[in-house]
Structure 1
C-alpha cells in the first residue's frame, strides 16, 4: 500500500470544488483509495460525503493511501489536487 501526507492548501479546505476534484480523480482509479486525518480512521476517497465529513480545513494535513496498479501515480495526482490553491 502506497501512502502520501499532504497539507491542504485551498482556503476552503477539502470542501466543495477541491473535494469534487479529489473524489473524481480517486474514483477513476481501479483500486482502493482512502483518505484520513493523521492518526484517524480512513474513509473511502471515492465518496464525496465521506471526504466532506472529515471536515479538513486549509493548512491541515491529510494522509492518502492507495492500493493497486498505478497507486504511486494516483497519489501524486491526489497530492497535487489537495496542495493546490485554486479557489
Structure 2
C-alpha cells in the first residue's frame, strides 16, 4: 500500500464536479483507493462518499492505493489535485 499527502487547491474545494472527476479517474484502476482526512476515510471510487467529505480549499489529506496499479493510480489522482481538477482557481 502506498500513501501520499495532498492538498485541495481549487477555490471551491472538493465539490460535485471534482468529486465526479476523482471518482471516474479512480474507477480506471484495479487498486482500492482511499481518501482520508483526519479520522474519516472514504472509497475514492464513490462520488457520494467523496462529496460527503466536504473538503474546502486548503485541506490536507491522505490518498492511499493498494493493488497492482497503485503507483499509476496515485500519480494520476495526485495530478488531478495539483491541476485543481481543471478549474482556474
TM-score by length of 1: 0.90
Counterpart for residue 52 of structure 1: 51
Counterpart for residue 67 of structure 1: 66
1:79 aligns with 2:78: yes
Counterpart CA distance in 1 for 2:35 and 2:64 is 6
Task: Give 1:83 deviation, angstroms.
Answer: 2.2
CA RMSD of aligned residues (A): 1.1
Counterpart CA distance in 1 for 2:11 and 2:40 is 24
Question: Which residues of structure 1 form unaligned runs of 5+?
Answer: none
- How many residues are aligned here? 86
Question: Which residues of structure 2 form unaligned runs of 5+?
Answer: none
Partner secondary structure for residue 40 of structure 2: coil
Structure 1 segment 13-32 matched on structure 2, within 5 A: 13-32=13-32
Q: Which runs of 4+ in 1 moved over 6 A?
A: none
